[in-house]
Amino acid sequence: MTKFPVDAPINKVIKTFEILGFRLVREGNHIAMVRENPDGTRTPLTMPNHRRIKGSTLRTILSQSGISREEFLRAYQKVR
């Protein structure tokens, strides 16, 4: 099993969320992304705009947006 990233580069995290269906909405002190779900609902996602995202912050983002750890890791491995 792949280890969960401890200090993930922000560019790689953004690309991973784009693979998972999110699109970038706003970028400032924080990065706002949103995903349009098949049932018509929207899933928002907000993360700090730092060079690297800590593992604990990333886990919180995943739980708030309803993404499983395994689903994120599969997409994260595809980004180079």
Domains of the chain from N-terminus onward:
7-78 (3.30.920.30)
Please report, rounded to a whole number, the percentage of residues in the chain having pLDDT higher than 90. Answer: 95
Mean per-residue pLDDT, 36-51: 95
- Those residues whose C-beta lies under 8 Å from the C-beta of residue 77, and which sit 6 or more positions away, are 2
Closest CA to 76 of 3, 30, 7, 12: 12
Mean pLDDT, rounded, for 74-80 = 93
pLDDT > 70: what percent of the chain?
A: 99
